[in-house]
């Protein structure tokens, strides 16, 4: 994976798409009326979005489709993990507030 280009290798893309598809099929209640083939087509056309989803996945997240914006024709992904992933817990983005 080349982080500077924000694109995944073909092997990593296929692996991620398989994980996302399995999660999509397991949790159909999150996205009724949405077909995986349409989601996959959009993702394959936009490597940067796949890279972002891979970053969520690699930090312990569980990105999944939760909707479709008809105006922009974009699919909406949320991190649907039951708990905040370990790498994202107890993070403070405000140094002044922390001190």
Range of the domain at 32: 10-98
* Structural domain includes residue 5: no
Is 1 inside a domain boundary? no
What is the number of structural domains in the chain? 1
- Would residue 39 count as lying in a domain? yes
pTM surpassing 0.85? no
How far apart are the C-alpha atoms of 64 and 35, rounded to whole Å? Answer: 13
Give domain status of residue 4, yes or no: no
pLDDT digits (tens, 9 = 90+) for 10-52: 999 999 999 999 999 999 999 999 999 999 999 999 999 999 9
32 in a domain, yes or no?
Answer: yes
Nearest alpha carbon to residue 20 among 74, 86, 75 = 75
Q: Compute the distance between CA of residue 54 and CA of residue 44 in angstroms, rounded to an integer.
A: 13
Residue-wise burial string across 26-41, b where 16 or more C-beta atoms lie within 10 A, e elsewhere: eeeeebeebebeebee
Residues 60/87, Cβ–Cβ less than 8 Å: yes
């Amino acid at each position: 994976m080349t982080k500077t280009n924000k694109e995944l290798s073909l092997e990593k893309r296929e692996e991620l798409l398989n994980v996302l598809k399995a999660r999509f099929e397991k949790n159909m209640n999150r996205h009724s009326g949405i077909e995986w083939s349409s989601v996959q087509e959009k993702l394959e056309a936009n490597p940067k979005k796949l890279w972002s989803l891979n970053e969520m996945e690699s930090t312990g997240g569980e990105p999944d489709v939760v909707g479709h914006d008809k105006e922009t024709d974009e699919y909406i992904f949320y991190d649907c993990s039951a708990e905040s992933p370990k790498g994202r817990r107890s993070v403070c983005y405000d140094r002044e507030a922390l001190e």
